[in-house]
């Protein structure tokens, strides 16, 4: 027996199939989702006066701009250019903070090829100036997001020529702090930074 | 008597006239020159390990991108969008620092219409978090560049509805610190920031 939906479209079993999404689009969506979560957290922190942290605009090399009369300047030729820093920085409790956010679909480790050389270089410069340099790492399949000090990244990064090319999941769980998911904002990562700071004070180490 | 330059071009009195530059272009060039000076100083501070300060990329809203095979993604339609912060931030001596740089051709005062509302709002948020919020102001005709705490800006900004719409030159000279021009970098503005910090400590005031 054939029957229709209330809107008149005919029903068939195929309608219930999940739409197919190419791997590329899926990756990109995952990336946007962590970014959106962090932007929402930053907006919350700014509104409540807890911190001032912004995502930097994507660096773009502009080649050609049109200036139509009476309307906004239109960029007609431009290219993405290489960033020289991380994506996020700002101030929290008087600390300069600086970080990047990365998402991986791996479950057992975080591959170092998610990180770029200029990001490590920048975070090292920040750590040398006694800023809080860290990374937010999301294991998208596990639905877990951690904050780790950049020092952990440096240890693995500097030894990858001879050592392993990824950071084990267990190491991130142990060295880092899990960001406990909330309703709004979903990813209050500064609570995890607070825990890392408390651990550092207890240990009396200078791992920042 | 007619005579020629060594390169064969004929001499006439008009050659000595300054080339005419439209007001718009001239403004823009002045802006670029202070920006170039600050970028050069930042590069010097980064290389010598004194500070990590970067200019943020211009925020751009991308509408359309082409992905030609085997070559870089080309942005074919985009528009300049409104920034929500200042142009520069970073870390110096453990302080979070945040500032904008402005140039004026006025000689007796700095007009407040050089500043945008979002910049004041952002600098206030930074000051509330105990960051070092300031502004670099160049009097291009006088060839003098000053660093002033953002608090001075706030005082005039918040009273402009009933009070004056510019900060007197004398006030900037007195409250601010002149950036002493050097060979390279030409505009070592952190030396002026150091002097402001020293004055603040002497007075015991909390004007940051």
B37 carries a ligand binding annotation: no
- Assess whether pLDDT exceeds 80 at residue B52: yes
Q: How many CB pairs under 8 A join A and B?
A: 104
| Mutation target among B91, B121, B130, B132 for the A interface, most CBs of A within 10 A | B91
Distances (CA, A) of B137 to A21, A95, B38, B150, B205: 52, 26, 12, 11, 23
- Assess whether pLDDT exceeds 50 at residue B15: no
Task: Compute the distance between CA of residue A142 and CA of residue A128 in angstroms, rounded to an integer.
Answer: 33
Average pLDDT over residues B125-148: 97
Average pLDDT over residues B146-175: 97
What six digits make up the tokens of A190?
């500064």
Is A51 within 8 Å of B129 when comparing Cβ atoms?
A: yes
Does residue A10 lie in a domain region?
A: no
pLDDT reported for residue A155: 97
pLDDT reported for residue A206: 52
Is A75 within 8 Å of B60 when comparing Cβ atoms?
A: yes
3-state secondary structure of B19: coil
Query: Tens digits of per-residue pLDDT, B175-207?
Result: 999 999 999 999 999 999 999 999 999 886 554
Q: CATH number, domain at A181?
A: 3.40.1350.10
Residue A1 C-alpha, separation from nearest chain B C-alpha, in angstroms: 47
**Nearest to A168, CA basis, from A195, A192, A143, A148:** A148
Does residue B159 lie in a domain region?
A: yes
Range picked from A193-207, B69-83, B116-130 for highest mean pLDDT: B116-130
**Nearest to B103, CA basis, from B36, B27, B23, B196:** B27
Does residue A125 lie in a domain region?
A: yes
Query: Tens digits of per-residue pLDDT, A53-111?
Result: 999 999 999 999 999 888 889 999 999 998 899 999 999 999 999 999 999 999 999 99
Query: Tens digits of per-residue pLDDT, A135-159?
Result: 999 999 999 999 999 999 999 999 9
Give the distance from CA A202 to its chain's centroid.
28
Nearest CA in chain A to B60: A57
Tell me phi and psi for residue A15, to 5 degrees.
-60, -25
Does residue B7 lie in a domain region?
A: no
Residues of each annotated binding site of A for Mg(2+): 85, 87, 100, 119
Nearest CA in chain A to B76: A76
Answer whether the bond into residue A185 is a cis peptide, omega within 30°: yes
pLDDT reported for residue B70: 80
Nearest CA in chain B to A51: B129
Distance spanning both ends of chain B, measured CA to CA: 65
Q: Enter the ipTM.
A: 0.82
Q: Which domain holds residue B158?
A: 22-56+85-203
Give the total number of structural domains in chain B.
1
For A94, other C-beta atoms within 10 Å of its C-beta total: 11
A76, A98, A129: residue with CB nearest B51? A129
Does residue B4 lie in a domain region?
A: no
Does residue A46 lie in a domain region?
A: yes
3-state helix, strand, coil in chain B (%, to 5): 35, 30, 35
Average pLDDT over residues B130-151: 98
pLDDT reported for residue A17: 41
Strands A132-139 and A74-80 turn out to be unpaired
- Assess whether pLDDT exceeds 50 at residue A18: no
Does residue A21 lie in a domain region?
A: no
Q: Which residues of B touch A79 (CB under 8 A)?
A: 72-75
- Assess whether pLDDT exceeds 90 at residue B26: no
Task: Compute the distance between CA of residue B16 and CA of residue A57 in angstroms, rounded to an integer.
Answer: 44
Task: Compute the distance between CA of residue A184 and CA of residue A198 in angstroms, rounded to an integer.
Answer: 24
Arithmetic mean of pLDDT over chain B: 87
Is A125 within 8 Å of B85 when comparing Cβ atoms?
A: no
Apex CA A77: angle with CA A72 and CA A79, to 5°? Answer: 115
User: What is the pLDDT confidence band of residue B17, given thresholds at 50, 70 and 90?
Assistant: very low
């Amino acid at each position: 027996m054939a029957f229709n939906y209330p809107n008149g479209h005919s029903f068939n079993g195929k309608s219930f199939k999940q739409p197919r999404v190419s791997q590329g689009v899926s990756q990109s969506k995952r990336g946007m989702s962590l970014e959106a979560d962090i932007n929402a957290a930053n907006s919350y922190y700014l509104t409540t006066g807890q911190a001032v942290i912004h995502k930097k605009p994507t660096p773009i090399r502009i080649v050609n701009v049109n200036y139509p009369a009476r309307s906004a300047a239109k960029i007609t030729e431009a290219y993405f250019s290489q960033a020289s820093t991380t994506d996020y920085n700002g101030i929290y409790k008087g600390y300069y903070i600086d970080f990047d956010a990365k998402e991986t679909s791996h479950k057992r480790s975080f591959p170092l090829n998610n990180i770029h050389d200029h990001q490590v270089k920048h975070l090292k410069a920040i750590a040398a100036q006694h800023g809080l340099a860290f990374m937010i790492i999301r294991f998208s399949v596990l639905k877990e997001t951690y904050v780790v000090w950049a020092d952990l990244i440096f240890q693995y990064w500097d030894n990858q020529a001879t050592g392993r090319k990824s950071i084990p999941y267990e190491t991130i769980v142990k060295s880092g702090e899990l960001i406990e998911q909330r309703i709004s904002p979903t990813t209050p990562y500064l609570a995890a930074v607070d825990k890392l700071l408390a651990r550092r004070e207890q240990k009396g180490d200078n791992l920042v």
